[in-house]
Amino acid sequence: MIFSLIAHGLVSLAFLFSWVFSPNDEMPAPRAVKVDLVGLPEKQLPPLVQKASPVEEVVPPIKSPEPPPEAPKPPAPKEKDVVKLPDKPKDDRAKKLEAQKKKQDEALRKMEASSAFDKIADDVETERRDKEKLVKGPQVQEGGTSGSLDALQRGSYENLVEEHSKKHWELPKWLSSRSLEATVLVKLDSSGTVIDRKIIKKSGNTLYDNWVLDSVDKASPFPAPPPKFVNRVATEGIVLAFP
């Protein structure tokens, strides 16, 4: 409190001091600077008089006006390391997907071959862990393969379903320009046939939702799920997000 009073007092004193002793009581304002923003010499400009635009009469017919360049185009530099402009896009999405799938299948085979070793390693590991701590409560343990093999199989199946869904996903142009999104939950039986499908997130446009459902119906049967996932795909289902 007291400090604040002192501080205020000091400041007012300073103001008073400067007011009393200032040699010049004018505010030190910067003098206006006239800037020619344009920077073009005025004398070169012909006077801008609108009446002096008798265009039609000053122009006599001429035989062959040399066509002047619209903008001076310097010769293109002959650099060899110029970045090329792109070609028209080709639909290579399907190719990419296929290559990706091949790669994954390859990896899957390798993993399966080595899964026996994995299993041994896993068993040793679980044994060690089991020794270290007692099991608290029930634990779910799936199958005999390793987690990474699981993930690979799942990834591979996901790719198959994605590729398959894309093939049947068509929209009329008049509808595709509106940015709409819908999500569908699809349940499949062991052969991949659709047993249930429903929109879980509507787009807000009934026609769009219908096109989405149509594309799911057209896509049935989907690729058959691997045995491990049959149950999950039939009960939990697969979520397809459009687009």
Residues forming contacts to another protein in the complex (CB under 8 A) are 37-40, 44-46, 48, 50, 52-53, 55-56, 58-65, 67-68, 70-74, 76-77, 79, 82-89, 93, 154, 157-158, 161-162, 165-166, 169-178, 215, 229, 232-233, 236-243
Nearer to another protein, 8 or 178 (CB): 178
Query: CB of residue 177 vs another protein: minimum separation in angstroms?
Result: 5
Query: CB of residue 70 vs another protein: minimum separation in angstroms?
Result: 6
Cis upstream peptide for 67 (omega within 30°) = no
SS (H, E, C) 173-230: HHHHCCCCCEEEEEEECCCCCEEEEEEEECCCCHHHHHHHHHHHHHHCCCCCCCHHHH
Nearer to another protein, 111 or 216 (CB): 216
CB 190 within 8 A of CB 231: no
CB 182 within 8 A of CB 169: no
Give the C-alpha separation, 240 to 212, whole Å: 10
Nearer to another protein, 30 or 138 (CB): 138
Q: Given CA atoms 191, 240, 236, 155 in this order, what sign does their dihedral have?
A: positive
